[in-house]
Amino acid sequence: GADPSKILLEIYTFMFGLGLGCVQSVVMAAVQNNSDPREVGMTTSSVSLVRSIGSTTGTAIFSLIISSKMDTEFAASMFNGMQNAFGLQGTGLLRFADMFPNTDVGNFVISIFGNGICLAFLIVGAVFLLAVALSFLMDAKYSFVGKE
């Protein structure tokens, strides 16, 4: 929404970071435990590289989803003429919130930005659930649980 609770946002961010931190250490341990001792450095750096590529790609995808959602909702609103007049699109529409604070257009832009973020998290959440489902199909030899 346009006026989220700061405490609630901090709790959600903490939970997201905690979950991400737990997953990352488990993946690294699994990779290191299943690597030849001479190749642990290479496999560890490969995991870090793939994580960096995934973070960069994920950020770009999030931005694309948010921008697309904002463009679509703004174009369908009564403020759509402003988009062409000012030459703003995507997350650039947030400039309207700065130019027209506490007005209908400013509040609307903040609202559609929030809608874009919600949509991005829903899509990524669905992809995450698919990844979890696919992880159950992995061969047991890739698991470090029960290794001696």
Give the pLDDT band of residue 142 (cuts 50, 70, 90): low
**pLDDT score of 92 more than 70:** yes
**pLDDT score of 148 more than 90:** no
**pLDDT score of 113 more than 70:** yes
**pLDDT score of 132 more than 70:** yes
Amino acid, single-letter form, for residue 88: L
Closest CA to 123 of 50, 61, 79, 41: 61
**pLDDT score of 146 more than 80:** no
Mean pLDDT to the nearest integer, 16-40: 85
**Is the pTM value of this prediction over 0.85?**
no
Mean pLDDT to the nearest integer, 2-6: 70
pLDDT score at 143: 56
Mean pLDDT to the nearest integer, 106-133: 92
pLDDT score at 107: 93
Cite the beta strand spans of the chain per DSSP E.
none
Mean pLDDT to the nearest integer, 89-98: 93
Length of the chain in residues, anyone?
A: 148
Q: How far apart are CA 116 and CA 131, in angstroms?
A: 23
Mean pLDDT to the nearest integer, 99-119: 93
Give burial (CB, 10 Å; 0-12/13-18/19+) of 11: exposed
Q: What rounded mean pLDDT belongs to the chain?
A: 87
Residue 78 token pair:
């009564």
